[in-house]
Structure 1
Amino acid sequence: AVIVEVIQGIGGLDEGSTEFFQGLEKLCKHYGTLLIADEIQCGFGRTGDFFAFQKHEITPDIISVAKGMGNGFPVGGILIHPNITPTSGMLGTTFGGNHLACAAVLSVLEVIDSEDLLQNAKEMSAYFKKSASKLPQLIHIKGRGLMLGLEFNFPIADLRKNLIHKHHIFTGSSKNSNLIRILPPLTVNKEHIDLLMTALNHELA
């Protein structure tokens, strides 16, 4: 099998091209290899599409999901293509089919739909990128939707510490020591983004 994270999380918000993913899918089909999309971080609306792979018009054989799936409640899942015939013993779980977890996931899906959060992710992403483009010492804005990264021309460890201790804003790190990961809730609004930009401008001044 081939496992791909369509947009890398801790790896640094890099994403392959549509040509790459479609070529990979074609090779997997040619050699009878399963294509597995790791959507644990980038799925459930995080990118503005329900799944990140949808932008590239591919169809994985298996999709792994978690994190945003439960909006804080610990839950994960595996989606398999109808071409894969499930058999007894194929997948073993300790807490599989937990009723409370299933209720949490259903509630998340209802809110994503009723509050049009996929559209909000796209709109707030555009607002974020426009606002962030004015930041000093910024090299690149990475990612899409609300799975974003700000790459600076210096190591950001101290900047992250100042954001959390002085401004009470938590950000993520990555293997790229110059990149801050930004993964706000899908309900984020312009006021929240403005608070982050104000804090960043203050620390970068």
Structure 2
Amino acid sequence: MMELFDVYSVFPVNIVRGKGCEVYDEKGQAYLDLYGGHAVISVGHSHPYLVKCMSEQLQQLMFYSNSVINKLQERLANELGELSGYPDYRAFFVNSGAEANENALKLASFHTGKKRVVAFRNSFHGRTSAAVEVTDNPALHAPINTNHNVYFAALDIKEVETELAKGDVCAVILEGISGVGGIQVPDEDFLRQLRELTRRYGVVLVLDEIQSGYGRTGKFFAHQWAGIKPDLITVAKGIANGFPFSGVLISPMFAARKGMLGTTFGGNHLGCAAALAVLKIIREEKLIENALHTGAYLMQRLQELHSPLIKEIRGRGLMVGVELTVPVKEVREPLLFEERIFTGYSGLYTLRILPPLILSTKEVDIFVGSLKKVLDGYYENSR
């Protein structure tokens, strides 16, 4: 019997359905989902309008190649541009966050004729060849991935300028807020200075908004808090609420030529229908505003805990990291198995909270109450 290639750490929970901010196992047990499958579930599980749009599209056409006109792609690009605040940019749709970053880096290299990239420490941009090379985790780099064209900088503008001044850098790539790196929020002044420097030295600025975008921080993109406009923006995860879909938003300064980029499945009809439905739900249900206000309430409630096990609380909107003084598994596992709440993690000590953007203050109260119970219980047992 063929078995799965064993590369994931898997909890012994079989999730079979979901609704709103809850998922259910095969026995009917409900779990509050504060992780959204790595920030993928933006508008909630099984949203009826999304299900309707995808069902209707399935009955018409699931897929045809990019060798013919696809009006859904054109409509999606237009609506994404309007809602995101980038109506003059163009879109190239692909299938995953790594693929979006891969194509963004290729565009930067085509545009500048250069190949070196500045990325940042503790970054994560994907597992394909170029994307993994700008990911600061040597454990993910196979020998075939390592061309030594990347410099990993600290969030220090002088260090970055030193690299840009060498004249061989095609791109700087940065997450709007680091996810895997521990929910680290870049300083707004740093972002503004970085934008100025990349323009001065003719370097392409790529903002990876794969996890931090799509309204999660209370603006459509996290970088918009700093008031900057990158040259390329990559999007994925929440774009289609679980259907594999992603894209690159491309500044008008880039010239296109036939064949420079390509994809078989990217921008397929079913994915476009899902992504269009997500945009409509975000707009009509005011989910960006909800992420802002419910996220502020979440941060307030977390700060009120005053637990000795909490070292720091970071984030924006509904992208929150709780850095602990104990290994995160000591808190995450009882939250799941005793309190029936899904959360994520970053590194050894940070609890990562990335719920659907429909999260309510009532659900925040449930989570914070359960977290307090787990933290208090661990503290008492460890004394």
Tell me which interval the TM-score lies in, with the shorter structure as reference length: over 0.9
1:140 corresponds to 2:312: yes
Give the aligned partner of residue 54 of structure 1.
224
Following the alignment from structure 2 to structure 1, what is the Cα–Cα distance between the partners of residues 330 and 189?
38
Give the aligned partner of residue 110 of structure 1.
280
Instruction: Return the letter of the residue paired with 1:121.
Output: A
1:15 corresponds to 2:188: no
Following the alignment from structure 2 to structure 1, what is the Cα–Cα distance between the partners of residues 266 and 183?
31
Give the aligned partner of residue 197 of structure 1.
368
Structure 2 residue runs without a partner (length 5+): 1-170, 377-383
Following the alignment from structure 2 to structure 1, what is the Cα–Cα distance between the partners of residues 185 and 373?
30
Give the aligned partner of residue 328 of structure 2.
156
Give the aligned partner of residue 172 of structure 1.
344
Pick one of 40, 65, 80 that aligns with 2:250. 80
Residue by residue over 1:138-158, the C-alpha shift from the partner in whole angstroms, topping out at 9 and shown as x without a partner, is 221101010001112222212
Residue by residue over 1:178-199, the C-alpha shift from the partner in whole angstroms, topping out at 9 and shown as x without a partner, is 2100001000001111111111
- Structure with bigger RCO (C-alpha 8 Å, 6+ apart): 2
Structure 1 residue runs without a partner (length 5+): none
Superposed displacement of residue 94, structure 1: 2.1
Question: Contact conserved, 2:179 with 2:346, CA < 8 A, in 1?
Answer: yes
Give the aligned partner of residue 296 of structure 2.
126
Question: What TM-score comes out, normalization by structure 2 length?
Answer: 0.52
Following the alignment from structure 1 to structure 2, what is the Cα–Cα distance between the partners of residues 63 and 106?
18
Give the aligned partner of residue 270 of structure 2.
100
1:186 corresponds to 2:357: yes
Three-state SS of the structure 2 residue aligned to 1:63 is strand
Question: Contact conserved, 2:245 with 2:266, CA < 8 A, in 1?
Answer: no
Question: Contact conserved, 2:233 with 2:248, CA < 8 A, in 1?
Answer: yes
The more displaced of 131-140 and 52-61 is 131-140
Following the alignment from structure 1 to structure 2, what is the Cα–Cα distance between the partners of residues 19 and 129?
23
Larger radius of gyration: 2
Residue by residue over 1:105-156, the C-alpha shift from the partner in whole angstroms, topping out at 9 and shown as x without a partner, is 1100000000011111111011111111122122211010100011122222
Following the alignment from structure 1 to structure 2, what is the Cα–Cα distance between the partners of residues 58 and 192?
33
Following the alignment from structure 2 to structure 1, what is the Cα–Cα distance between the partners of residues 266 and 299?
39
Question: Contact conserved, 2:245 with 2:267, CA < 8 A, in 1?
Answer: no
Instruction: Give the count of matched residue pairs.
Output: 204
4+ long deviations beyond 2 Å: none
CA RMSD of aligned residues (A): 1.0
Following the alignment from structure 2 to structure 1, what is the Cα–Cα distance between the partners of residues 301 and 373?
14
Instruction: Return the letter of the residue paired with 2:339.
Output: H
Three-state SS of the structure 2 residue aligned to 1:204 is helix
Following the alignment from structure 1 to structure 2, what is the Cα–Cα distance between the partners of residues 116 and 63?
22
Residue by residue over 1:36-61, the C-alpha shift from the partner in whole angstroms, topping out at 9 and shown as x without a partner, is 00000000001010011111111111
Three-state SS of the structure 2 residue aligned to 1:73 is coil
Residue by residue over 1:156-189, the C-alpha shift from the partner in whole angstroms, topping out at 9 and shown as x without a partner, is 21211111111221111112x2210000100000
Pick one of 181, 206, 220 that aligns with 1:36. 206
Following the alignment from structure 1 to structure 2, what is the Cα–Cα distance between the partners of residues 68 and 145?
15
Instruction: Return the letter of the residue paired with 1:90.
Output: M
Pick one of 4, 15, 24 that aligns with 2:194. 24
Three-state SS of the structure 2 residue aligned to 1:173 is strand
